[in-house]
Amino acid sequence: MTVAKEMFVYEFSEGSSASKELLGGKGAGLAEMSSLGLPVPPGFTITTEACRAYMGSGELPDAVVEQIEEYLAKLEASSGKKLGDPGDPLLVSVRSGAAVSMPGMMDTVLNLGLREEAVESFARRTGDARFAYDSYRRFIQMFGDVVLRVEHEKFEAALEALKRERGVADDTQLTAEDLKGLISTYKQTVADESGVAFPEDPREQLRLAIRAVFDSWNNPRAASYRREFGLPDDLGTAVTVQAMVFGNMGDTSATGVVFTRDPSTGEQGLFGEFLLNAQGEDVVAGIRTPRPISEMQEVLPRAFGELLETMHRLENEYRDMQDIEFTVERDKLYMLQTRSGKRTAVAGLKIAREMADEGIISREEAVMRIEPRQLNQVLHPYIDPGAELEVLAEGLPASPGAATGKVVFTASEAEERGGAGESVILVRKETTPDDVHGMVCAKGTLTALGGMTSHAAVVARGLGIPAVTGCKALEIDAAAQEFSIDGRTFGADDSITIEGSTGRVVEGEAPLVDPEMSEDFEQVLAWADEFRTLGVRANADTPQDAERARHLGAEGIGLCRTEHMFMEDGRLEIVREMILSDSEAATSAALARLAPLQRGDFEGIFKEMDGLPVTVRLLDPPLHEFLPDSIELRERLAGLEDGDSEEALEIRRQLRVVESLEEANPMLGLRGCRLGIVRPGLYRMQARAIAEAAKAVRARGCAPVVEIMVPLVGFRTELAEIRGEIEAMVQEVLEPEVQIRIGTMIELPRACTVADKIAWEADFFSFGTNDLTQTTCGLSRDDAEGAFLAHYLEQGFLTKNPFESIDVDGVGQLVSMACERGREANPHLKLGICGEHGGDPESIRFFHETGLDYVSCSPYRVPVARLAAAQTALEERGSRIEA
Amino acid sequence: MTVAKEMFVYEFSEGSSASKELLGGKGAGLAEMSSLGLPVPPGFTITTEACRAYMGSGELPDAVVEQIEEYLAKLEASSGKKLGDPGDPLLVSVRSGAAVSMPGMMDTVLNLGLREEAVESFARRTGDARFAYDSYRRFIQMFGDVVLRVEHEKFEAALEALKRERGVADDTQLTAEDLKGLISTYKQTVADESGVAFPEDPREQLRLAIRAVFDSWNNPRAASYRREFGLPDDLGTAVTVQAMVFGNMGDTSATGVVFTRDPSTGEQGLFGEFLLNAQGEDVVAGIRTPRPISEMQEVLPRAFGELLETMHRLENEYRDMQDIEFTVERDKLYMLQTRSGKRTAVAGLKIAREMADEGIISREEAVMRIEPRQLNQVLHPYIDPGAELEVLAEGLPASPGAATGKVVFTASEAEERGGAGESVILVRKETTPDDVHGMVCAKGTLTALGGMTSHAAVVARGLGIPAVTGCKALEIDAAAQEFSIDGRTFGADDSITIEGSTGRVVEGEAPLVDPEMSEDFEQVLAWADEFRTLGVRANADTPQDAERARHLGAEGIGLCRTEHMFMEDGRLEIVREMILSDSEAATSAALARLAPLQRGDFEGIFKEMDGLPVTVRLLDPPLHEFLPDSIELRERLAGLEDGDSEEALEIRRQLRVVESLEEANPMLGLRGCRLGIVRPGLYRMQARAIAEAAKAVRARGCAPVVEIMVPLVGFRTELAEIRGEIEAMVQEVLEPEVQIRIGTMIELPRACTVADKIAWEADFFSFGTNDLTQTTCGLSRDDAEGAFLAHYLEQGFLTKNPFESIDVDGVGQLVSMACERGREANPHLKLGICGEHGGDPESIRFFHETGLDYVSCSPYRVPVARLAAAQTALEERGSRIEA
């Protein structure tokens, strides 16, 4: 095919060579089916390029208008009918179809070509006057709504009024005469509402409909869908114009939807539904209940046989499970759409694995087929997909898994009742560190405020319990112990179900399905491990976390925080003693009491991770996080009867220390390695405890691989000093042949600019991208998420939350700079990342491209990371082959 | 001179070709004088290179030892005496001398070569037994102290004991016999304290003394001096070994110090002092009062004449005012040292100007001669250099100028008494924003804590009043209304004087000298303006500041903050109304009331800066800075009798707003352009007020050059949005031919990485290096300075405070990156800097090299910046010529 001029329109039969980007998913599918010789009603597709040209200028370019005319003429010729012909009119559908499926987001016009002059003959030819007038009525309604922007409700109101007048309940009970009258009313409605008469020229109708469908790319619904799924705004949609076929021409006609495999389970077989004597809309409208596809064999055996064969051909052709729409018009099967079907994670894994086993697709393709984030579904309990649900609201899917329980409004109550074994869901406006003791005992957490990286979200993910955050519809009256959603009120004895993988909040106790690490899952992940080059570790602070992480495929611990150990029962008192001590001796005594406890923590983790690396981060948070706050102390002081008692004096002393440690901006204050320098005993104690733990587990036959990580280094001198201290401690404890690697978190912009110098002192860098995002963007996560980040995202100042997916332009550039400079100065430098971004597929792509050695994420995100890492490696391989 | 082997030692006569870096200041001076044929006692200099070799290995390299022997032999040959010769001993001095003068920091040994066997003959030859034994006694004491590390006090104690025993008050009253006995005691002291006998071999003594002087480069005194003046630690010192001459050989001998011009005023003439029959030490010891140099003409006319001639030759040779040490031994003049003399700023300016006018130096040299920071002396009152002072303590020179006043301990008292006209000095542990009202009314502020960029320092510099901060000796008992320093207590009725240019705290009312912008000052600065290429603007928020800035040579306002305008009397209430308003209407009403006030502010400044650019920054700080804090509100609420009164309800409402605005890290929270986006009415009001003010002053015949600066931009989209709003406002108000430039502060690392994109929306960048330092280094200035920054500086983790002098490796790299990327994307982009660093000479060098268009600093630092900018331009020119 030689292309003399730019092609804006493709006939289905021409289109199989053109791309999905150009024709949209629907257009490409129709072209493909057409080229396979399958029964597709004829038609043509106007490209996304035409759409982009239209969006740019606001007008359909002349070339586009000309080509539409040309292809319409071809369509008329091949069908032997003419658009709007009073004798035997060609009717067409005008449908949107973007490269990426956006189901239901854009507009469609059906039955275009019917008009006053043609409807009678159409009735005659179809032998069904009611059907003909109903089709015309539907066309006017759709065209009025989509093209002329007359409110849908106006038409519905007229229809309802007519039904009331005729005393009937159902549309189908209206006669052809009734519908004729309704058509007049509709046309008057259009004239009244739009100020113009209903256009009667079918060619003009077609042009207007095509423009309207192009316009629908930018309707608010579609725009918000794209924002939600991170799709670009400038792709545009294709438009397919296709001869209408009718599944509602009596009992030899039908319409239906089939899947080539079960989209819920992935099982092979035949799954779908059909309706006899119906149009596709009727299935959607839910007025009639569709029948299982297997029953079609009885009523339409010829078409059914043809359908089965077609399904088989399509699955083999597309090498994926297909979601197929068809219509049978007077016993003749027509294929209207085929596309790769949406499926649950379980089904996706089974289909991918089986197709690979069957040799239909390669293992690489099997791995590429799974959406990493979807894995969350199979790693956590989820709501039974078959259950009937009353979804009350949707919030953000903040921590995966589903849970049911009684509503509680305070952390204390959650602790009390949850601790006693009751299933409770903690419902809060937002959570703070004071709520953690309650979150631990609840089955899940639901908050009205906060984003995907709010306190509630981060803590819940850390704990591995479900959470839904930012549920805006939720209005909480904690004092009254109730909340309301859309005017419905729920109290302390009501049960709800939350699903943190999807963000759904459901009334009552929805049936949950327990996750199973199926063979399919294990197999696909095992393949992923073969392909990926990026290591995957987990962030874990306890032996339990470490065990879970290892089970989920983590190749080490990339971040073992020691502060949580300090917070544990019985330890906080010693930590406070250490901080509040007024003498060197008292500090040392407190540290000496902490040392064996710390050693015990590390032993458990090292044992669990036998043979795999464990990166222990020395204490990071500001010391005041371990102390009671000054308000609490003041209140205690005010409550004392004797203001000069020993207790009062002690509280005053504590108050002085607490106040001296208070900071205007603790994020930028005395924390991380600064603590290690100002209070050197602390890191020495931790280093010794780590070395002693390593020694102890070695004695028990394990092979600990220990890395010590110094947080918040900004200056080479800081790391040099602390490294020296750690080395001294390690040498005192361990035999010389046992090595402990010493490295640093890179979490300050300055550390990135001087990464070469810092690399002289470091065996590894681990990027703390949470803090690096905060400092690089000047954004305090806690402050921003509640205040203006949501506004920024809604208004498009940001396209994505930089705490969820790495900010490539800003933070990413600094990470790249640090990697380059660090490796140049120290070619043996290991590079990893241990921020929240370590489990985000898009961020993983960036880390892979930047040449990091590994990512580290929370245990439950390890499989996601393994898969995402494999996919990015495969993509790279693919693009290398292409290039 | 061909050098076959490396030369570690130079005879004076050989040295004039070698550099000051190699020979030190003293060695180079002696070599130079020697080559001029001036009467210099013979000797040689061991190079700094030898010192570095010694410091590296801990041993004097063989080559150095050999060369010392060789040159000692030459010295013995030329003087006709032998070191330690019992008959006629050669005596030498062993003195330190680094490339940069570090007066009194390192060690010296005199009279080396005297020993038991030689002292008698020395006594005979000098005809003064007492002198001979005293010289020997002094040698043992110095050698014991410097070389053998015997505590100085041990020798003093023995001397005192002897004086008590003899019943005499003065050393000179001890007889030769007394001194003989003392020598024995000294030797015993050395043996007891050092555990070794006093070495008697003069050649060994010499080697030991040379090593000891090398060692003294690293004594704590010298190390801390270098840290204070930012000198590198690895240069090392040279050592000069020189034949001794004696000014204490009777009444035809003398010793003295002269300057070729007056070091206090710069006046031409003869200035100096001498002592008859004395050694240099005696002048230093202060036992005898030296006589004015002019009187030497009477007593030693021949030597005096020769001295005058020599001074003249030296000043012409060095083309600078010289500080000269000489000795007359038996009527023969010897020159011992010449160097460029230290001088006051006033003297420096006069000397530079006059020498340039006289054609001795070029104007470029005149500009290079002035140390920019020293200009602070002439811009502010200072303590009369001639006054007798009781210096109580030294703190940090936080804000230049000097002030005397009564001590007050609270801001309220400072406001009350200062407001009533009394001169008061506010003495605080540290200051907070609550103290500003008192600082404004005080003559000066003194704090115990805080650094050069602490709150007190920044506010004081902004107000242009002196401050001394971080005065560690100061112990304040505010409750008792007193403070103590070294055990001495001062109360409310005591007066003190502080000098913020030097950090001195002086007892009582020291006499102050008012600054004058002398002709010398104006002339040298005018020359500087000819040479510099970097623009200099000032940070000024009021017409008064603007006037002062213009007077001091500012070429515009680089930063006009609008928040201070919001804080003014009568406005804070409206600002609070605006923030606390619970409806759009109330917000608008409050903004409408603020608008004319803001317009008035801007009019005053635009008028003052007629024809020069003024960069107005839109509101930057978090809104809660304008509100009462929640503790205050709670206290007010608790104080109310009726908890349900209208007042109580209002306070509760305010409390809710205040709490909703509270932030964990306000530095990284809702401020800057984020405010402008979340509360768009605010910036619109400001933009309109600016445009209206410009219009108003144009109507009065002025030419306002207005730039609007948007703070805290991190994302291009932020600036694009706000720019659009500003442009809309400006277009509404101003005729189209009047342009207002719109730009942004670059103060986030992210802004630097995406500077190209931001530059698309910006006419200018102004680096806010204060905040950029905070975010890049992850350092909250307020938190760090009180907590660990001092520790970091003391312990050498940092060599300088990054808030005082720009952190070139970290922040600087980001600034360079932003400049490059910004200019590449927008070649018309203007680049400036408006942080505290704009007035720091070292930082100015960096900004010049980075290619910025201008710096902006507080008004009083404008002359400093003008000079520093000229010097860096001249240096660059120089290095271009060299290259």
pLDDT per position as a tens digit, A119-165 = 988 888 888 888 899 889 989 999 999 999 998 889 989 999 999 99
Q: How far is B842 from chain A (nearest CA, A)?
A: 20
- B668: nearest CB among A667, A748, A810: A667
For strands A424-428 and A504-507, give the pairing: unpaired
Inform me whether the C-beta atom of residue B787 falls under 8 Å from chain A C-beta atoms.
yes
User: Is the CB of A754 less than 8 angstroms away from the CB of B796?
Assistant: no
pLDDT per position as a tens digit, B425-468 = 999 988 876 788 888 889 999 999 877 767 788 778 767 789 99
Is pLDDT at A3 greater than 50 in this prediction? no
pLDDT at residue A453, rounded to an integer: 64
User: Is the CB of A668 less than 8 angstroms away from the CB of B665?
Assistant: yes
Per the listing, tokens 């000066």 go with: B444
pLDDT per position as a tens digit, B758-815 = 999 999 999 999 999 999 999 998 888 767 888 898 888 998 899 999 999 999 999 9
Q: A70 and A241 in contact (C-beta within 8 Å)? A: no
- A667: nearest CB among B665, B771, B796: B665
User: Is the CB of A809 less than 8 angstroms away from the CB of B757?
Assistant: yes
What's the distance, CA B149 to chain centroid? 33
Inform me whether the C-beta atom of residue B52 falls under 8 Å from chain A C-beta atoms.
no
Inform me whether the C-beta atom of residue B678 falls under 8 Å from chain A C-beta atoms.
yes
C-alpha distance across the termini of chain B, in Å: 26
pLDDT per position as a tens digit, B579-611 = 888 788 888 999 999 999 999 999 999 999 999
pLDDT at residue B438, rounded to an integer: 87
Predicted TM-score (pTM) of this structure:
0.81
User: Is the CB of B677 less than 8 angstroms away from the CB of A810?
Assistant: no
Which active-site residues of A does the annotation give?
A: 455, 834
Burial of residue A169, with CB atoms counted within 10 A of its CB: 0-12 exposed, 13-18 middle, 19 or more buried:
exposed
pLDDT at residue B269, rounded to an integer: 83
Residue B251 binned pLDDT confidence (cut-offs 50, 70, 90):
confident
Nearest CA in chain B to A773: B750
Residues 683-712 of B with CB under 8 A from A: 712
pLDDT at residue A686, rounded to an integer: 95
Inform me whether the C-beta atom of residue A784 falls under 8 Å from chain B C-beta atoms.
yes
Inform me whether the C-beta atom of residue B663 falls under 8 Å from chain A C-beta atoms.
yes
Residues 545-574 of B with CB under 8 A from A: none
> What is the token pair recorded at A201?
């020229």
What one-character DSSP code corresponds to residue B93?
E
pLDDT at residue B881, rounded to an integer: 61
For an interface test with B, the pick among A674, A791, A806 (most B C-beta atoms closer than 10 Å) comes out as: A674
Q: H-helix or E-strand containing A526?
A: helix A519-531
pLDDT at residue A285, rounded to an integer: 56
| Cα B308 to Cα A469, B271, B303, B314, B348, distances in angstroms | 88, 11, 9, 10, 22
pLDDT at residue A779, rounded to an integer: 94
For strands A402-408 and A424-428, give the pairing: parallel
What's the distance, CA B395 to chain centroid? 12
pLDDT per position as a tens digit, A152-192 = 889 989 999 999 999 988 777 889 999 999 999 999 999 99
For an interface test with B, the pick among A633, A783, A808 (most B C-beta atoms closer than 10 Å) comes out as: A783
pLDDT at residue A2, rounded to an integer: 45
pLDDT at residue B260, rounded to an integer: 93
Inform me whether the C-beta atom of residue A435 falls under 8 Å from chain B C-beta atoms.
no
Is pLDDT at A16 greater than 80 in this prediction? no
Inform me whether the C-beta atom of residue A799 falls under 8 Å from chain B C-beta atoms.
no
Question: Considering only CA atoms, which of A364, A348, A764 is closest in space to residue A532?
Answer: A364
Q: A707 and A742 in contact (C-beta within 8 Å)? A: yes
Inform me whether the C-beta atom of residue B775 falls under 8 Å from chain A C-beta atoms.
yes
Q: Kindly list the residues from chain B whose CB atom is less than 8 angstroms away from the CB atom of residue A715.
A: 792, 797-798
Mean pLDDT of A519-541: 96
CA distance A415 to A410: 9
Residue A396 binned pLDDT confidence (cut-offs 50, 70, 90):
confident
CA distance A537 to A858: 9
Q: Kindly list the residues from chain A whose CB atom is less than 8 angstroms away from the CB atom of residue B754.
A: 809-810
- A783: nearest CB among B665, B721, B787: B665
Residue A282 binned pLDDT confidence (cut-offs 50, 70, 90):
low
> What is the token pair recorded at B700?
């009065």
User: Is the CB of B750 less than 8 angstroms away from the CB of A778?
Assistant: yes
Residues 711-740 of B with CB under 8 A from A: 712, 714-715, 717-718, 721
Is pLDDT at A882 greater than 60 in this prediction? no
Q: How far is B797 from chain A (nearest CA, A)?
A: 5
For an interface test with B, the pick among A679, A776, A793 (most B C-beta atoms closer than 10 Å) comes out as: A776
Is pLDDT at A568 greater than 80 in this prediction? no
For an interface test with A, the pick among B758, B776, B798 (most A C-beta atoms closer than 10 Å) comes out as: B776
For an interface test with A, the pick among B668, B678, B712, B757 (most A C-beta atoms closer than 10 Å) comes out as: B668
Mean pLDDT of A1-8: 64
> What is the token pair recorded at A603?
């032993």
Q: Considering chain A, what percentage of its residues have pLDDT values greater than 70?
A: 97
User: Is the CB of B714 less than 8 angstroms away from the CB of A796?
Assistant: no
Sheet with A254-261: list strands edge to edge: A291-292, A268-276, A254-261, A322-329, A332-340
Q: How far is A661 from chain B (nearest CA, A)?
A: 8
Is pLDDT at B1 greater than 50 in this prediction? no
User: Is the CB of A678 less than 8 angstroms away from the CB of B791?
Assistant: yes
Q: Kindly list the residues from chain A whose CB atom is less than 8 angstroms away from the CB atom of residue B791.
A: 677-678
Residue A684 binned pLDDT confidence (cut-offs 50, 70, 90):
very high
Is pLDDT at B205 greater than 70 in this prediction? yes
User: Is the CB of B787 less than 8 angstroms away from the CB of A666?
Assistant: no
User: Is the CB of A670 less than 8 angstroms away from the CB of B797?
Assistant: no
Inform me whether the C-beta atom of residue B680 falls under 8 Å from chain A C-beta atoms.
no
For an interface test with B, the pick among A668, A761, A782, A788 (most B C-beta atoms closer than 10 Å) comes out as: A668
Nearest CA in chain B to A812: B753
Q: Considering chain B, what percentage of its residues have pLDDT values greater than 70?
A: 97
Between residues A832 and B171, the one the model is more confident about: A832
Between residues A79 and B237, the one the model is more confident about: B237
Q: How far is B619 from chain A (nearest CA, A)?
A: 17
User: Is the CB of B667 less than 8 angstroms away from the CB of A666?
Assistant: no
Per the listing, tokens 């605010």 go with: B682
> What is the token pair recorded at B780?
């909250």
CA distance A634 to A655: 8
Is pLDDT at A283 greater than 50 in this prediction? yes
Q: H-helix or E-strand containing A497?
A: strand A495-499
Question: Considering only CA atoms, which of B143, B92, B142, B94 is closest in space to residue B118?
Answer: B92
Residue A730 φ/ψ region, left for φ over 0, alpha for ψ in the -120 to 50 degree band, beta for the rest:
alpha
Residue B302 binned pLDDT confidence (cut-offs 50, 70, 90):
very high
Residue A512, beta-bridge partner list: A383
Q: Kindly list the residues from chain B whose CB atom is less than 8 angstroms away from the CB atom of residue A811.
A: 750
CA distance B264 to A450: 66
User: Is the CB of A798 less than 8 angstroms away from the CB of B714?
Assistant: no
Residue B285 binned pLDDT confidence (cut-offs 50, 70, 90):
low
Q: Considering chain B, what percentage of its residues have pLDDT values greater than 90?
A: 58
Q: What residues contact B24, with CB distance under 8 A and at least 6 apart?
A: B45, B48, B96, B97, B98, B99, B237, B238, B240
Between residues A198 and A437, the one the model is more confident about: A198
A415-424, A756-765, B382-391, B622-631: range with highest mean pLDDT: A756-765
Q: A247 and A277 in contact (C-beta within 8 Å)? A: yes
Is pLDDT at B547 greater than 60 in this prediction? yes
User: Is the CB of A677 less than 8 angstroms away from the CB of B776?
Assistant: no
pLDDT per position as a tens digit, B366-393 = 999 999 988 877 888 889 888 888 999 9
> Is B777 assigned a catalytic role?
no
CA angle, A829 then A834 then A838, to 5°? 110
pLDDT per position as a tens digit, A202-225 = 999 999 999 999 999 998 888 877
- B749: nearest CB among A669, A715, A775: A775
Residue B3 binned pLDDT confidence (cut-offs 50, 70, 90):
very low
pLDDT per position as a tens digit, A451-507 = 776 778 877 876 778 999 988 889 998 888 899 998 899 988 899 999 988 899 999
- Tell me which amino acid residue B689 is: A
Inform me whether the C-beta atom of residue A748 falls under 8 Å from chain B C-beta atoms.
yes
Q: How far is A753 from chain B (nearest CA, A)?
A: 6
User: Is the CB of B665 less than 8 angstroms away from the CB of A784?
Assistant: no
Q: Is A553 helix (H, G, I), strand (E, B) or coil?
A: coil
pLDDT at residue A464, rounded to an integer: 73
Per the listing, tokens 């919001």 go with: B566
User: Is the CB of A665 less than 8 angstroms away from the CB of B670?
Assistant: no
Q: Kindly list the residues from chain A whose CB atom is less than 8 angstroms away from the CB atom of residue B664.
A: 666-667, 780, 782-783
